[in-house]
């Protein structure tokens, strides 16, 4: 009996450690990506020191909120759909569509709130430039990911 309890406890702890390591890895990738995006935007705008400080504060908190409230949940839904696409019933499909739609609306609201906060202390033209640079950054990252996937396909 002691051996069984010890084995169960060992398996439980191993699972917890594995989950923790995986979440830390994902967290560090997100932090690295956020830092790259922040630097890209700052390098390609002409904000003064005060504006930069305000931008970094607002950007950091809104990116974290978007990541935790929208991106992670969307990724989870996409994974669930991918795993059940051949067997999904109408009710589940409808539920996924509605959940995804609600997350999209939440994401838009988070971005809008961020933009309004930026406008409080940053010149309007600079905020517009931030939005433009953010779009360029996203396109560049998408291009890099696509190129990486294409290279991997060619190797196989």
Q: What are 106-152's pLDDT values in tens digits?
A: 999 999 999 999 999 999 999 999 999 999 999 999 998 888 877 77
- Listed by start position, the domains of the chain span 35-155
Cα gap 44→130, rounded to integer Å: 8
SS3 144: helix
Question: Whole-prediction pTM value?
Answer: 0.75
Cα gap 65→156, rounded to integer Å: 38
Q: What's the pLDDT at 110?
A: 97
Q: Which residue has the tokens 């609600």?
A: 102
Cα gap 4→54, rounded to integer Å: 56
Secondary structure of 20-66 as H, E, C letters: HHHHHHHHHHHHHHHHHHHHHHHHCCCCCHHHHHHHHHHHHHHHHHH
Report residue 3's pLDDT band, with 50, 70 and 90 as the boundaries: low
| C-alpha dist (Å) from residue 149 to 16, 33, 141 | 31, 18, 12
Q: What's the pLDDT at 2?
A: 52
């Amino acid at each position: 009996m002691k051996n069984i309890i010890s084995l169960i406890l060992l398996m439980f702890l191993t699972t917890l450690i594995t989950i923790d390591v995986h979440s830390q890895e994902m967290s560090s990738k997100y932090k690295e990506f956020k830092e790259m995006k922040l630097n890209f935007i700052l390098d390609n705008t002409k904000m003064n020191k005060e504006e930069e400080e305000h931008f970094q504060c607002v950007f950091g908190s809104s990116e974290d909120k978007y990541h935790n409230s929208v991106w992670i949940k969307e990724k989870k839904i996409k994974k669930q759909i991918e795993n059940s696409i051949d067997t999904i019933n109408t009710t589940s499909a409808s539920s996924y569509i509605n959940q995804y739609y609600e997350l999209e609306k939440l994401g838009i609201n988070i971005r809008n709130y961020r933009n309004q906060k930026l406008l409080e202390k940053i010149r309007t033209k600079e905020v517009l430039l931030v939005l433009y640079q953010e779009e360029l950054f996203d396109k560049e990252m998408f291009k890099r990911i696509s190129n990486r996937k294409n290279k991997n396909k060619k190797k196989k």
